[in-house]
Amino acid sequence: MYDLMSREGVKFIIERIVQNASEVMEERKNNPDSEYYAGMAQACYQVLDIIKTELMVRGEDLKEYSLEGDLEKKYY
């Protein structure tokens, strides 16, 4: 993963996804019946979960990427 991108680049992308996921969760809270926001929340969660798994496999510190803890509770 780091062959083509620096750690800082990876962190930046993750920060943007987390920011987007947080915005989606806020919209979902304000629109609980919206299938759109429910689907967006699921998509954000799945992307972050894939990234988290890949970082874990590589032995990375998840705190360094703000991906520690239960992502499902946070973003789904």
pLDDT in tens, the chain (76 residues): 456 678 899 999 999 999 999 999 999 999 999 999 999 999 999 999 999 999 999 999 999 999 999 999 888 8
Comparing CA positions, the residue from 52, 55, 49 lying closest to residue 41 is 49
How high is the pLDDT of residue 3?
62
How high is the pLDDT of residue 45?
95
Q: With 0.95 as the threshold, say if the pTM is over it.
A: no
| Cα three-residue angle 22-26-27, rounded to 5 degrees | 115
What is the spatial distance between Cα 15 and Cα 38, in angstroms, rounded to a whole number? 21
Q: How far is CA 26 from CA 1, 12, 34, 69, in A?
A: 31, 21, 12, 19
